[in-house]
Structure 1
Amino acid sequence: MPAVVPRSGVSPEARRSLRQLLGDVDRSLTVAFREGEDASALARRRSEIVDRIVVHAWGACLGDMAAGALFAVGGFGRGMLFPASDVDLLALVAETSPALHRALESFFGCLWDIGLKPGHAVRTVEQCRELAASDASVFTSLLDARRLAGWPILAESLRGILDDPALWPPRQYLAARLAERDARHARYDDTAQNLEPNLKDGPGGLRTLDALRWLGRRLADAPDFDDMVAEGLLEPVEATKLARAEETLRRYRYALHVEAGRAEERLLFDYQRGLAKQLGFEDEHAKNLGVEQFMQGYYRAATQIERSGTQLVERFEEMLDPATEALPVGTDYVRHGSRISLRNPQLFVRRPASLVEIFIARLDEPGITGFTAETMRRIQHAVSLHGESLADDPQVLCAFLALLRRGAPAVEALWRMNRHGLLAAILPAFGKVVGRMQYDLFHVYTVDEHTLRVLRNVARFADPAARRDFPIACEIWPHVEKPELMLLAALFHDIAKGRGGDHSMLGEEDARAFCARLGLPQDDIDLVAWLVRQHLLMSTTAQRQDITDPDVVHRFGATVGDWEHLDHLYLLTIADIIGTSPKLWNAWKDRLLADLYTSTRFALRSDLTPPAHAGMRLRETRERALGMLVAEHVAADDIASVWAEFPDLSFLRHRPEQIAWQTAAILRARGATPLVEVHPFSVRGSTELFIYTPDRDGLFATVTAMLDRLRFSVVEARILVSSTGKALDTFLLLESESQAPASLQRAEELRSRMLRALDQPAGQGPPKRSLSRHLRHFQMTPRIEFVDAGERTQLALVCTDRPGLLAAVAQALAEAEVRVHDARIATFGERVEDFFQLTDRSNAPLSPQRREILRECLLRHIGFENPRNSLNADANA
């Protein structure tokens, strides 16, 4: 074999010239892209130019090397290079030598110097074979290998590895690729509908398309979609849809690389608005922003790829597992093993209702896991043929209602119908929210994905295994006489998002019209419509109002009206919250909603009689708390001496258990202050902090600053003062990161640190923290409103969340010389809605002048440098 004769390499001057050439090319391609040229064509053009540069450098560094060959792999091997893509290379060598290694080092170093980013591997043919045999990913990378330079016979050696039938036979290769897909998708919550999706590796991303081509090549010798059409694996219309979706993702990826200036594959908030503008998307109205339209384009493309990819994989599996004997399933269908198909190929065309009925048959027939490839194809054809006429076909609607009446099992069928586009055909309004994002941090999924997750959450309530997590919901579900109404409410609750106007009211109109077409009785229509209209009522009542106040429960119960509405609303509320974001559900909200539910059931059981007089409620709380303390052998006289200090509001706003706990703590302290007690797992699944100390102005600021330093979130605060001038302050807390109650260790840390803080004459202010990357993109002008509330003034603060916000608000209250008597804290994604009961330092309601001072202090402390401009913006809100 001829020896390696390395060249002198690429001179510094030549490297500078190549770097200049590459920069000029990239700039010209960027200009061409911004002028509207096709992203795929530009990526191919860049690959062709890089081809020539790499081959030139190879020749200069290695000469006529007979001992090796250079291959492009990855995207470069496929002839596609996006603006910041790596240049993946494989140097295949027949043998190794010091001279060869020096020459290769010079070659790869040259590529780095001229501005390329080579991802490279150097292997012998045997090393390649060994790695390919043990790792499906290595084997797959060789499928895209394209020889650029060097010894041609090594390309034949590489071909021999790929053609070896012993290496990754079809069934084994399919299983390996599916395992890799599942592991990759699991990193992205198994959905393409995330707020910041990865358009390369996420579900429905470009990697999915690559994987389909790899499978086509290995399993059917069909390396592209046209070949798969020829092999009967894809219909021409399916291949066209895939090509269009791929072009969308390539255009977005090209724009993202240009916008980011690097190989970024995630559509981060940092870039979404800029990309939307760059690609020509404009705001239609406040509820259909240009950035939302841009992201909807991505989600729809990814959904198409994911949907088609799933069906194509099922066809590959069927190809490897030939049909077995046909067994009858009812009168219209037959089964081949675990797959179901049509007895009459024209059934979907002749009787559109069978499109729904086959999904019911799949539910009813044990052991059925899917449709045959031909059946999936006919579903696609029929949906396309009938279109939205399915939405008005009485037989189709009758079949759809029959499916919904199956209750929880129907949910999986609805998911599958959505995958085939059938759900959007029957519910055209649902089709409009496919891929519809909401540009905020509260809704982490698109509207269609969220809706389907809400349906799945509803179905969980029918599973006895879920009783531990959802005891009340699982108790309610068996008593729901018409589960179809629950499913309809879940389907319609967000269906009007993005249209402008109140989506609850618009959704109510849609629900009424569709339920009428289903032929439901008027009472059932009214229930579904009410649930859609009021689907936020329970969560907003629980989080924004004091549900320990019987007046609040009474008003809520009066709106709900009866147990049936309450049961349905409770189920929908929980399913909705969990389906909005996995991070939103915690023990605090679980207990909060459960308390509102049980309190309202009691009120409804009492025929909604007016709330008990305050005096009666006060006596009931005292009696129950007294019983608890006496049972623990606490002397009645000692209890009376403590309660002589407690204001009436203590007994009106706290549970008997809290009163008993606080009283016992005060007695144990024997007059020592400050007293700090922590109950790690107390009211509504939260940690309770109780502070008993001489009251002083700024105490609320001191406490909240320390809680912020310790990374606790305040979900509720009760600020009371005893008749002897002692603060009786109660805070309900969750860990900021996990939204869970504190551990015993953390509770003790909180107690000791808070004691030290209270012993200081003036507490430390909150630490300065920068906004997270996410929050920087969702800043809103604060809304500050004051309302007269009897002897107090209520402050409503709606603004963007940020680290240390409550502590900053407390500092503003202290600076404005305002006292806090009560606080309700609620966070919805990036949006905070906090309510405070305030007085001045004379315990009088805030005067107009004091309100203005507080407004300016708040705007300054929560991060607005120009309070006057923010004030004007607020006045116009």
Structure 2
Amino acid sequence: MPAVVPRSGVSPEARRSLRQLLDDADRALATAFRDGEDASALALRRGEIVQRVVVHAWGACLGDIAAAGLFAVGGFGRGLLFPASDVDLLALVGENSPTLSRALENFFACLWDIGLKPGHAVRTVAQCRELAAQDASVFTSLLDARRLAGWPILAEQLRGILDDPALWPPRAYLAARLAERDARHARYDDTAQNLEPNLKDGPGGLRTLDALRWLGRRLANAPDFDAMVAEGLLEPVEAAKLTRAEATLRRYRYALHLEAGRAEERLLFDYQRALAARLGFEDEHAKNLGVEQFMQGYYRAATQIERSGTQLVERFEEMLEPSAEPEPVGNDYLRYGSRIAMRNPHLFVRRPAALVEIFIARLDEPGITGFTAETMRRIQHAVSQHGEGLADDQAVLDAFLALLRRGAPAVDALWRMNRHGLLAAILPAFGKVVGRMQYDLFHVYTVDEHTLRVLRNVARFADPAARRDFPVGCEIWPHIERPELMLLAALFHDIAKGRGGDHSVLGEEDARAFCTRLGLPDDQVALVAWLVRQHLLMSTTAQRQDITDPDVVHRFASVVGDWEHLDHLYLLTIADIIGTSPKLWNAWKDRLLSDLYTATRFALRSDVSHATIAGSRVRECRERALGMLVAERFTPDAIAKVWADFPDLSFLRHRPEQIAWQTAAILRAGSATPLVEVHPFSIRGSTELFVYAPDRDGLFATVTAVLDRLRFSVVEARVLVSNTGMALDTFLLLESDTQAPASLQRAEELRARMLRALDHPEGHSAPKRGISRHLRHFQMVPRVAFSPVGERTQLSLVCTDRPGLLAAVSQALAEAEVRVHDARIATFGERVEDFFQLTDRRNAPLPESRQAILRDCLLRHLGSDTPRTALNANANA
């Protein structure tokens, strides 16, 4: 073994020169990128420059001959270094010695000192073998190892590890890589379509392409896409698509590193607008921003990588499966084990409808898990050859309708068709929203990803196991006579996003045209078109209006028209909300929508007047609440004494369970006030707070300040005053962090803190807290509008969400000397839409002068210096 001959190392002057060389090179590369040079070529050039510097430092610190070898691994091993990438190195040593250890320490310290960020490991060959045998990720890192300097025999010994057939044989290696992929993707919600995706490690990211090459090398001795084409694993057109998608992601990653000034791999909101401008994207119109076009480029590339990667993995799996004898499946298909194939290789070209029919056959044949590699290839060819002509082929449309009529099982087929590009070919409008993002915090997925998730949510209503989560939806689903209409409505509800104009109106036109081409009867076409046009109606009515008001329910019922439309709209609404963001769904919204559904069904079967319905509801509420209270051994006389002080609105706006709970609390308290009761999980699917105290101006502000300090979100507030001047205030709450009802411990903490605040109301203003990183990028001009509502004035406030917003609004209301009688709180991502019913302190509607004072107070407390004229909105416009 050669002796270690350490060198004196790199002098301070030489280190400064090397640092200057790297700085000059990075500036030149950044300039070249701005001038439009290819990111991959620039990353390779930077890799070459860094390699020369690293090899020079190695020679200076360890000498030309040493008992060690230096290897580039990771991206550096593949020759690529982006502007802020780590320089991953492996030092292989024949034996450890103090002299060698000091020389290596000097080497790595030198690299840090000249501005490189080496990620390094020092191991013997035996240690590499041991670790590689235990961990597939270590074995994988060795696949990219490239010798830079040092003892050549170590490279041969390293190749011996990789060539050992007993170490991670193909089946075991494939299983390990898929397990790693699944674990990594789970961290990103199993989708590339997140608002702030990870370019490197997210689904469809650059790591996915690396993994495909690793699999190709280990399983088929095909380390790149050209080799995979030669092996028949990829078609040339597929390889070309992957190469283009990779070029897009590399370009974005190069720009991201330059913009962030560090090794940032996430397309954070902090950078998205600047990156869009840097890469030349410009706003087309308000609903197709430059940043949205930029992100669509990413999503489309990531989607292509994810789709092609999934298909390539299926081909690897088929390659490793034992051969199976074919079994006939109908007249056109054959079964090979768990895979299905066409009999005639020209089937899809001669009869395009078979492209859809094979997905139906896959559904019908038990135990089928996929297509053969050749079949996947034929599907790709046929879709490419026929293109959007499939949308006008009546036989294809007939087959598509037959698939939709399978109901819930068809959804999985639609997902697979989307993966092969077939869904976009049959529905060209769907292809236009692939990768279409909306630059806000409400829509956390791209339009195509959201649509597919809505379809899956619709399918859940057919699953008996989902009854616990969706009792009303699962009760409705068996009565849906034509499930294909629900699936069509889900497919089209957002299909016109990004075109400009109202997507509901444009989508209605698309849905009507497509359903007509499908040959559906006029009444079915009308139902699908109506669902697309009105798909937001139920959620906005429930969250923005008082659904305990018979007038609100009857207006909604008059638009819905009948039970069939109501059933379909209810299911679509729930599926849409959950498909927009899983965090949007909670027990409170579940109860809110089911309450509106129940009230509307009653209204649709009733011909009596609103006044009669209101009176009937008051009587029914009294009777049911009385029964509950008597069962708790309260006397009718005591109950009647409490209720004599309740306004009729209490019985109209609250459920019997709430009235019984409030009444029991008052009776137990006797004459003691203030009274605070907290129900951790109420009938309304939230935590319910009841405050019974002498009414006073500023009470609402005191309560909301305490709620803000305790980090509760108010989703609804009902502020009533008894006939003797007692506040009967009800607040429905969720935990701000989890959007879940409170625990017993938190409920007791809230009750105690609220009692102390009501006993000593002074000094209970809300703390000022900074807004989150996400919200900083979505600030909007607040909009304040006033409109008459009976004997009150309604304030509509639309603004950006922030911590403590409601408490700040409450302080403004108190400062403007107005009274709150009702509040509806609705949050949509970063956007808040709050509605308050107000009067002055004489319980009269607000005159214009008081409205102007309130507007100024609101803007001051919201921290806005925008001119008032820009914020005033005419509620009647």
SS in 2 for 1:827: strand
The answer to whether the Cα contact below 8 Å between 1:213 and 1:225 also exists between their aligned partners in 2 is yes
**Do the aligned partners of 1:864 and 1:870 also contact (CA within 8 Å) in 2?**
no
What is the deviation of 1:611? 5.2
**Once the 2 structures are TM-superposed, how far is the Cα of residue 680 of structure 1 from its aligned partner?**
1.2
Partner of 1:476: 476
Report what 1:67 is aligned to: 67
- Give the aligned partner of residue 694 of structure 1: 694
Are 1:742 and 2:742 counterparts? Answer: yes
SS at match of 1:863: coil
Q: Which residue of 1 aligns with 2:289?
A: 289
The answer to whether the aligner puts 1:137 opposite 2:137 as a matched pair is yes
Distance 2:724 2:752 in 1: 25
Deviations 1:563-611 (A, max 9, x none): 1111111110110011000100000000111111111112222257545
Tell me which residue corresponds to 1:794.
794
Tell me by how many angstroms 1:440 deviates.
0.6
Question: Are the counterparts in 2 of residues 335 and 341 from structure 1 also a CA contact under 8 Å?
Answer: yes
Cα distance, 1:869–1:18 mapped onto 2, change above 3 Å: farther
CA contact (8 A) 1:551 1:611 kept: no
1:764 shift after superposition? 1.2
Is 1:500 the counterpart of 2:482? The answer is no
In structure 1, what is the Cα distance between the partners aligned to 2:640 and 2:491? 56
Task: Please report how far the alpha carbon of residue 862 of structure 1 lies from its aligned counterpart in structure 2 after TM superposition.
Answer: 1.4
- Partner residue in 1 for 2:656: 656
Per-residue CA distance 1:469-498 (angstroms, 9 max, x = gap)? 111111111111111001000000000000
Alignment of 1:576-615 (within 5 A): 576-607=576-607, 610=610, 612=612, 614-615=614-615
Using the TM superposition, give the Cα deviation of residue 127 of structure 1 relative to its aligned residue in structure 2, in angstroms: 0.5
Q: Shift of the alpha carbon at 1:654?
A: 1.6
Deviation, 1:644, is 2.4
8 Å CA contact retained: 1:812, 1:854:
yes
Distance 2:560 2:54 in 1: 72
User: What are the equivalent positions in structure 2 for 1:143-182 lying under 5 Å apart?
Assistant: 143-182=143-182
- Structure 2 SS opposite 1:5: coil
Q: Verify the 8 A CA contact 2:554 2:600 in the aligned structure 1.
A: yes
Tell me the residue number matched to 1:208. Answer: 208
Aligned to 1:385: 385
Contact 2:784-2:872 at 8 Å conserved across structures: no
| Matched-pair contact (CA < 8 Å) for 2:494–2:504 | yes
Contact 1:792 1:839 in 2 (8 A): yes
SS in 2 for 1:684: coil
Q: Which residue of 1 aligns with 2:564?
A: 564
The one-letter code of the counterpart of 2:84 is: A
Q: Distance in 1 between matches of 2:378 and 2:236?
A: 13
Q: Tell me: CA distance 1:612–1:834, structure 2 relative to 1, closer, same or farther (3 Å).
A: same
What amino acid is aligned across from residue 664 of structure 2 in structure 1?
Answer: A
Q: Is the CA contact 1:132–1:138 (under 8 Å) kept in the aligned structure 2?
A: yes
| 1:393-542 paired onto structure 2 within 5 Å | 393-542=393-542
- How far has the Cα of 1:543 moved from its partner? 0.6
Asked if the contact 1:823/1:834 (under 8 Å) is kept, the reply is yes
- Comparing 762-771 with 208-217, greater Cα deviation is found at 762-771
Q: Could you list the per-position Cα deviations for residues 274-330 of structure 1 after superposition, in whole angstroms to 9, with x for gaps in the alignment?
A: 000000000001100000000000000000000000111111111111431111000
Residues 5 and 66 in structure 2, CA contact (< 8 A), matched pair in contact too: no
2:232 paired with 1:225: no
- Is 1:545 matched up with 2:549? no
Structure 1 match to 2:705: 705
2:158 and 2:750 map into 1 onto residues whose CA distance is 64
Per-residue deviation, residues 115-154 of structure 1 (Å, max 9, x unmatched): 0000000000100111111111011001101111001111
Gap change, CA 1:631 and 1:808, over 3 Å in 2: same
Structure 1 residue 625, shift from structure 2 partner: 2.3
Letter in 2 for 1:708: D
CA distance in 2, matches of 1:3, 1:794: 88
Matched letter for residue 285 of structure 2: H
Hey, what's the Cα distance between the residues in 1 that align with 2:617 and 2:412? 48
Paired residue secondary structure (2:444): coil
In the alignment, the residues of structure 2 paired with residue 290 and residue 521 of structure 1 have an alpha-carbon distance, to the nearest angstrom, of 41
Out of 634-643 and 326-335, give the one that drifted further.
634-643
* Alpha-carbon distance, 1:551 to partner: 1.5
Distance 1:599 1:476 in 2: 15
2:81 counterpart residue number: 81
The residue number in structure 1 matching 2:375 is 375
- Pair 1:845–1:724, CA change in 2 (3 A): same
Unpaired stretches in structure 1, ≥5 consecutive residues: none
Structure-1 residue corresponding to 2:11: 11
Runs of 4+ with >6 A deviation: 872-877
Partner of 1:864: 864
C-alpha distance in 1, partners of 2:664/2:499? 56
Question: Per-residue CA shift, 1:206-250, capped at 9, x if unaligned?
Answer: 000000000111111111101111111111111000000000000
Partner of 2:246: 246
Paired residue secondary structure (1:672): coil
Query: Which position in structure 2 is the counterpart of 1:185?
Result: 185
CA contact (8 A) 1:782 1:874 kept: no
Determine helix, strand or coil for the equivalent of 1:715. Answer: strand
Name the structure 2 match of 1:720. Answer: 720
TM-score (norm 2): 0.99
Q: Structure 1 length normalisation: TM-score?
A: 0.99
Most deviating of 603-612 and 675-684: 603-612
Report SS of the residue matched to 1:579.
helix
Aligned counterparts of 2:316 and 2:676: Cα–Cα separation in 1? 66
Tell me the residue number matched to 1:40: 40
Q: CA deviation at 1:614?
A: 4.1
- Aligned-pair CA distance for 1:673: 1.0
- Once residues 771 and 862 of structure 1 are traced to their aligned partners in structure 2, the CA distance between those partners, rounded to angstroms, is 12
Matches within 5 A, 1:798-817: 798-817=798-817
Question: Which string of whole-angstrom CA distances, capped at 9 and with x for unpartnered residues, describes residues 785-829 of structure 1?
Answer: 000122110000011111111001001101111110100111111
What secondary structure is seen at the aligned counterpart in 1 of 2:738? coil
2:93 equivalent in structure 1? 93
Secondary structure in structure 2 of the residue aligned to 1:311: helix
Are the structure 2 counterparts of residues 297 and 815 from structure 1 closer, same or farther at C-alpha, using a change threshold of 3 Å? same
1:237 aligns with 237
Q: SS in structure 2 opposite 1:781?
A: coil
Superposition RMSD on alpha carbons, in Å? 1.4
Q: Distance in 2 between matches of 1:509 and 1:875?
A: 29
Deviates more, 1:722-731 or 1:251-260: 722-731
Letter in 2 for 1:107: F
The Cα shift of 1:411 comes to 0.3
Contact 2:9/2:57 (<8 A) preserved: yes
User: In the aligned structure 1, how far is the partner of 2:506 from the partner of 2:264?
Assistant: 39
Counterpart Cα distance in 1 of 2:167 and 2:701: 68
Percent same amino acid among aligned pairs?
86
Comparing 781-790 and 95-104, the one that deviates more = 781-790
